[in-house]
Amino acid sequence: MALHPVVGLLIFNAIIGIVLIVYERLTRRIDRRFASFPWTVAMLDLWILCYAVELAAADRAVKLLFANIQFIGIGAVPPLLFLMIRQFLGRPPMRRVFGPLAAVIPIVTVAVAFTDGRFGLLRQSVSMVSAGGLVQLSVDYGLWHDAVFVPFQYGFYLASLALLASAAMRSAPVFRARLWIFAAALALPMLGGGLYVLNIRPFDTFNPTSVLIMVSFVLFGIVMLRHHIHDVAPVARHQVLDALDEGIIVLDTEDRVAEFNAAAARFFPSLNAAAPGRLFSDLLGDSDALLALARGIDGDGVGFGVDGPSGPRRFLGRSRPVIGLDGTRIGRLVTIVDTTEQSEDQDSESGLMSHDRFFRYLTAEVAKSRQYDRRLHLAVLAMPPESRDGVVGAVSERILRQLLPWERACFLGHGRFLVSMPEQDLDGVLIRSRNLVNDVRHEESKARIGLAGLRSESDESAERLTARAVRAVERSRSLVSYAR
């Protein structure tokens, strides 16, 4: 018996689905955020193949069996498609309860399909008709199908279409055309299903929805793979914002909170789900510095402290206006950086690294230099104990100006500074040290430097290196001395 063209088309579409799944699994070219894509195609394949067997079978019982199995795929595809669209658009994951809730109606529908011989909730009557060379089931559907299952399906289809249309209207032009292609592709199966539900010929006995959904998936795949859409995917703003370590608060022209990210909510517990739309001063009005930022008074940056559950924290805030496409101000962006750890790692008197932080750094540098056979020198810049008041800050500024990007410095106390000089030979270190001490002598004429280089001994440490550099500056009265 020859295969009917319609059955052949369905099988061909199922094969396309299998190819899409295998290709995605082997190449991983479809982004990980599209995790529900293979599951959606698999359920669609189940639907299509069961429909093909239903049409090809001659026996009424076989047709009904595969028509019932179809409801597994028919019910699973709409919520999976909805999840797939959300994942593609970068929306936040649905709550775990979504899966069990979305599965209730499909599971009940499948159960009703297999047990509903007497009540007619899903099918009131079933007959066999011949049309287009095929013997098909002609079904008069019942209340559960028309009042529950169809609205369930089309509710998810419409929600998916609304997500795509909304994203297309709000997206940049480079993404807009592709999103509209996705929306049009999604509208195809909705149109086919509508023609079938409304009994419009020639779709009163043939349901084209499964075939049209596969056409949609082929279009999805072509756009994603050919145009590399995930290379510059239109991820949702909240995913980018919530990945930032700095706090972001967006205010409208009335100083009301329009949006904020996870870091800002972490810094200030008053920024919760009820915060959008409320005045900034009502939420964070206890801080004069924050109010100044919100009003644009201290836009270049202001430091302030906040007492939190884990103790006092230090922050640096900045603000700038948000300008619309027409050039008018539409709000204000406030950015807040937690500088507590930076403050703890900085010496308050000199502005250089704190003593503890510097020795943690120096210990790590000693270990790396020994492991990879790299050069490391340490300089101790010493000033007389009777140096004038304020000289520490002035000398620190000169040291900071002289430091190379890979060098670090700290104030050791008692008029002494430590400067690490990695990855430099002795000649280079001596030249750097003379330049540094000559510059510092503009503030303190008796400043001197002692140098020590990392040795190859197994017991070499940051403390031993520091002790040798200190001895070098103590035992010699020359401008720069080196501990052999």
Token pair for 24: 């995605």
CATH number at residue 226: 1.20.1070
159 and 74 share a domain?
Answer: yes
259 and 221 share a domain?
Answer: no
Can you give the residue range of the structural domain that contains 408? 349-483
312 and 428 share a domain?
Answer: no
pLDDT digits (tens, 9 = 90+) for 239-298: 667 777 888 888 888 888 888 888 888 888 888 888 887 888 888 877 777 787 777 765
274 and 205 share a domain?
Answer: no
pLDDT digits (tens, 9 = 90+) for 67-102: 889 889 889 988 988 888 887 776 777 788 888 899
Considering 290, 317, 343, which residue would you say is the last residue of a domain? 343
Considering 343, 377, 397, which residue would you say is the last residue of a domain? 343
CATH number at residue 468: 3.30.70.270
13 and 78 share a domain?
Answer: yes
Q: Read off the amino acid at residue 372.
A: Y
pLDDT at 379: 93
Count structural domains, the chain.
Answer: 3
286 and 353 share a domain?
Answer: no
Q: In which residue ranges of the chain is pLDDT below 70?
A: 1-2, 24-35, 90, 117-118, 131-132, 171-175, 193-194, 196-214, 216-240, 297-301, 308-311, 325-326, 341-351, 386-389, 458, 484
d(CA 234, CA 432): 50
CA 212 to chain centre: 33
pLDDT at 378: 93
Nearest partner of 106 among 48, 152, 160, judged by Cα:
152
pLDDT at 387: 63
Q: CB of 308 within 8 A of CB of 336?
A: no
CATH number at residue 246: 3.30.450.20
368 and 413 share a domain?
Answer: yes
DSSP state of 327: S
35 and 110 share a domain?
Answer: yes
Considering 189, 217, 235, which residue would you say is the last residue of a domain? 235
Lookup result for tokens 């055309």: 177
Q: Is the link from the previous residue into 202 a cis peptide, with omega within 30 of 0?
A: yes
pLDDT digits (tens, 9 = 90+) for 428-449: 899 989 999 888 888 778 889 9
| Strands laid side by side in the 480-483 sheet | 408-413, 416-422, 376-382, 448-453, 480-483
206 and 298 share a domain?
Answer: no
431 and 469 share a domain?
Answer: yes
- Which phi and psi angles does 335 have, rounded to 5°? -115, 140
Which residues does 227 contact at the CB level (< 8 Å), separation at least 6? Answer: 178
Lookup result for tokens 């090809």: 56
